[in-house]
Amino acid sequence: MRRKMPAILTERLLVESMDALVNALIAIGMLLILILLIYLIDRVNSIEKETRKVMTSITEKSERSVAPFMGLSSKKLWDTMTGRAAEGLDAGAITELRAQYALVLSKHMEALYQEGFKDGQRGMSGEPKNTKQVSTSKGAVESWMPSAQANALYQCGLNASQTPEADWGPIRASLDEAGQFLLTKTQQDASSPLSDWLMPLPPKLVTGSAETAGGVPESAHIPSGIPAAAGQGPASA
């Protein structure tokens, strides 16, 4: 009996060791399965995110292709025109957009000047907004410009309405400075002063001759891309 006890004890210990080993293997297996499931779920979520991103990008490009000014407006449109490339737009698209933007900027500049001129005629003075909804053949778009230049254009119109044309010199200079900044900043043609379009002087006030050295009337020098307004200048306000 004494001889059998060690054998029985040894066998029991062996069985318990095997059970413990099996349990450990099962636990490790379940842990690996859990890790695998977590990895697969994470991968599925990542694939879904990438798919959504691709679909969103395709949708945005599709919307841009049909939307006026490729879906850009306000500050984003200004940033793109001043050299901060918009996501999804190549150099060719930006060049095409810049050609269309010339009209938007010109209308915005004219509107601010005319707003100031009309307020001056009414004896009023306001705070101009630096955003404006502009209508074009491509559709309506919100234009944005820095507040400093928006205020300058408005103030030039206001001052012009209250100043004799013979004394417009300083006002024309301020208008040209604001226009030069806006046109240059947005990479537009800034070779002609803005005042030649918005504040043309009457022939009697043009010094020397009414024609420039090239034989073209001074009032005809309108900045490239800027359409002549009806009546040109404050008279049309």
| Per-residue model confidence as pLDDT tens digits over 209-230 | 344 434 333 333 333 333 344 3
Residue 189 · residue 225 · CB < 8 Å? yes
Q: Mean pLDDT over residues 52-73, rounded?
A: 70
Tokens 């074009």 found at: 136
Distance of CA 223 to the CA centre of its chain: 23
Q: Which residues of 92-118 are buried (b: 16+ CB within 10 A; e: fewer)?
A: ebbeebbebbbbbbbbbbbbbbbbbbe
Question: For residue 70, what pLDDT is reported?
Answer: 82
Question: Where residue 136 falls among pLDDT bands split at 50, 70, 90?
Answer: confident
Q: Mean pLDDT over residues 70-78, rounded?
A: 90
Q: Is the pLDDT of residue 237 over 60?
A: no
Phi (first) and psi of residue 175, to 5 degrees = -65, -45
Q: Is the pLDDT of residue 3 over 60?
A: no
The residue with greater pLDDT, 16 or 128, is 128
Q: Which residues of 43-62 are buried (b: 16+ CB within 10 A; e: fewer)?
A: eeeeeeeeeeeeeeeeeeee
Considering the chain, what is the average pLDDT of its residues?
A: 80
Question: Where residue 4 falls among pLDDT bands split at 50, 70, 90?
Answer: low
Question: Where residue 139 falls among pLDDT bands split at 50, 70, 90?
Answer: confident
Distance of CA 55 to the CA centre of its chain: 22
Residue 68 · residue 133 · CB < 8 Å? no
